[in-house]
Amino acid sequence: MRAAVIGGGITGLSVARELLARGHEVTLFERDARAGGLAGSFRVGDVWVERFYHHIFKTDGAVLDWIGDLGLAGRLVWRPSPVGFFHGGGVHRFGTPLDLLRFRPLRPMERVRMGLAILRLQRMEDWSALDRVTCGEWFSRHVGANAYRVVWEPLLRLKFGGSYDRIPAAWIWGRIHPRARSRSRGGMREELGYLDGGFERMIERLKEEIVARGGVLREGVPVTGVIAEGGAVRGVLAGGTEAAFDAAVCTVPIPEFLKIAPPLPGADRARLEGIDYQAVVCLVMECRESISPVYWLNVSDPRITFGGLIEHTNFIPPERYGGRRIVYLFNYVDADDPLWRMDADSYFRAHEASLRLVNPAFRREWVERTHLFRARHGTVVYTLGYRDRMPPFETAVRGLSLVNTSQIYPYDRNMNNCAALGRRFVEERMGEGRR
């Protein structure tokens, strides 16, 4: 089979690798100059830094398989990852059971009920019933309305905007359940993984392997159309040239897929058009001083204008980056939000006062360089009952498949789940069942 894989993010790289391993001819098209998608990186000195923050969990089997297969296991490090909540004008630790018991924004009994609810989600294997109840309903019932308003509602608002009250509890399960085994022995702290030198090393090795196996990698070449004849894929139009293929696997977001797909039945197209996305804006700052006392700072304070703050160098030592502190600020927004259109300096100034709330000592002079990155389709908005609306891999056009983050529900959109999705698609298509 001659297959065109459209989109060079983690899912596209996974599909290409799996198809090549089964002896198929593969050409991978990526419109950007470098493959990697949301896992792509840029240089800080002689070290790669991800444009959007990344780490892995001990349960991330697909990415851990890649790291082993690609000879990178010696570069994998596991480190504690302190988490905090900014609420009521201060940072509260929120990464361990003991932190939860000390979490003063909740009353003592609410802290106990929150811990029991998290434990329940960690141990729950069947999540299907959670698809039919909202996060607000589930947590208000099991923890209390006040605890939901303090902890979960702000996070949902910042992630999903106006749809926050329609997000199923299954989405929270997909974030909590897989993470239990990422904790150290005894479960008292979470340890996350990172590749020394950045995940770009893994992406580069994947690209090298794809080429070594006979695949063709066409970076900087956008696909502008999938060509069908007689209800089946005939080829793709890429870089102004038509190329013949027996199959096309589109790993791009749904709106981009609909721009290049052949005509689809009205019901199929309407189903896809009914799935919404939130855009994401991310500012990476190179700082001379530390801003946050934790690695991952969640926000539960209406005065804070950003959606979260991640100080990467509270996870990986700043010495790896020439002494610089690497700090991420991000917002999930609608496409008409003014933050989406701002340049790096304007975005920084929009959040400068909030940075001083987090750290009163903060000064603009601490920030030596800024780098702004955007993704129009940053995350799918999974609303109530999404399990029944999740699109299948196959379309009405024979040989045309859709494989993207709209199909990883209820799990979180991260490198591992995208890699596992690509592998699952190929295994199902080849009749091998699921691993």
Instruction: Give the angle subtended at the CA of 287 by the CAs of 330 and 296, to the nearest 5°.
Output: 40
Rounded CA separation 123/121 (Å): 5
Q: Collect contacts of 309-316 with beta carbons under 8 A, ≥24 apart.
A: 309/86, 309/355, 309/358, 310/53, 312/49, 312/53, 314/82, 314/290, 315/55, 315/79, 315/81, 315/192, 315/194, 316/77, 316/79, 316/194
CATH no. for residue 421? 3.50.50.60
- Indicate the helix (H) or strand (E) that contains 5: strand 2-6
Q: How many structural domains is the chain composed of?
A: 2
Mean pLDDT score, 154-179:
93
Compute CA 295 distance to the chain's CA centroid, rounded to the nearest angstrom. 17
- Residue 156 counted as domain residue: yes
Contact 384, 134 (CB under 8 A): yes
pLDDT exceeds cutoff 50 at 434: no
- Which of these three, 189, 207, 225, is where a domain ends? 189
Instruction: Give the pLDDT of residue 96.
Output: 87
Question: Structure tokens of 158?
Answer: 């910042």
Does the predicted model carry a pTM greater than 0.75? yes
For 180-196, the pLDDT digits (tens) are: 666 555 555 678 999 99
- Residue 409 counted as domain residue: yes
Q: What is the DSSP letter of 41?
A: E
Tell me: do 118 and 254 sit in the same domain: no
Mean pLDDT score, 353-370:
97
Q: Can you say whether the dihedral through the CA atoms of 413, 416, 417, 421 is positive or negative?
A: positive
Which domain range does residue 233 map to? 2-54+199-274+392-429
- Residue 158 counted as domain residue: yes
Report the percentage of the chain scoring pLDDT > 90: 93
Rounded CA separation 353/304 (Å): 8
For 142-156, the pLDDT digits (tens) are: 999 999 999 999 999
Tell me: do 102 and 20 sit in the same domain: no
28 phi and psi, to 5 degrees?
-105, 125
Measured from the Cβ of residue 259, the count of other Cβ atoms closer than 10 Å reads 11
Instruction: Give the pLDDT of residue 179.
Output: 72
- Which of these three, 189, 215, 234, is where a domain ends? 189
> Where does the pLDDT of residue 431 fall: very low under 50, low under 70, confident under 90, or very high at 90 and above?
confident
- Residue 329 counted as domain residue: no
Q: Can you say whether the dihedral through the CA atoms of 194, 199, 201, 206 is positive or negative?
A: positive
Question: Structure tokens of 252?
Answer: 């791009």
Residue type at position 387? R
Instruction: Give the pLDDT of residue 432.
Output: 64
- Residue 336 counted as domain residue: no
N-terminal to C-terminal alpha carbon distance within the chain: 23
Contact 232, 247 (CB under 8 A): no
Rounded CA separation 361/220 (Å): 43
- Residue 59 counted as domain residue: no
Tell me: do 125 and 171 sit in the same domain: yes
Q: Can you say whether the dihedral through the CA atoms of 241, 242, 244, 248 is positive or negative?
A: positive
For 215-266, the pLDDT digits (tens) are: 999 999 999 999 999 999 999 999 999 999 999 999 999 999 999 999 999 9
Compute CA 354 distance to the chain's CA centroid, rounded to the nearest angstrom. 24
Question: Structure tokens of 328?
Answer: 């991420």
Question: Structure tokens of 324?
Answer: 């610089």
Tell me: do 166 and 243 sit in the same domain: no
For 27-50, the pLDDT digits (tens) are: 999 999 999 999 999 999 889 999
Instruction: Give the pLDDT of residue 435.
Output: 40
- Indicate the helix (H) or strand (E) that contains 84: strand 83-87
For 87-112, the pLDDT digits (tens) are: 999 999 998 889 999 999 999 999 99
Provide the mean pLDDT of the chain: 95
> Where does the pLDDT of residue 430 fall: very low under 50, low under 70, confident under 90, or very high at 90 and above?
confident
Tell me: do 425 and 398 sit in the same domain: yes
Rounded CA separation 136/146 (Å): 11
